[in-house]
Structure 1
């Protein structure tokens, strides 16, 4: 199994646009072969500690995939291509981490 933590930094004020686009595509992604988890999220408004306040203009997607092949197949789907095109003007940066759970 592989986990993905995708942190998306949006243009100011466009976090809800990206989040809504992710919510729209999420049911389709969850039906893909090898998808165990696909959860768009944002920082909790209270933050965890004073040293880690909630991030503005940030959306995080937490994912779990059966294999690298399942993840690669997901990235090549037409719905993810459409998502990328739809959100291109709203996304400033992406930090995508591929994790191996132990």
Structure 2
């Protein structure tokens, strides 16, 4: 089953890779990518898979993360009690982003 990689697909890949390609290059890469994919698919078809159980993960590892459990946290007033500066119940810090004119935060 030979699938030709279309110029549209190559153009999309080039855009994702930020590669400005000419129409000649697009055509060339369409042919080359098609050949590379066909070759690799032919290699995969030769791999003996009879009797191999389908798997989603080859290592057999399942979820090793702990379950999410909520724990009591600080009330807002407790969290803010030692801050040097606060505003409307939030920590007040120096600006780290430049906001466009007209979108300045309140002091």
Larger Rg belongs to: 2
| Shorter-chain TM-score tier | under 0.3
**What's the TM-score, normalizing by structure 2?**
0.19
**What's the TM-score, normalizing by structure 1?**
0.20
Higher strand share: 1
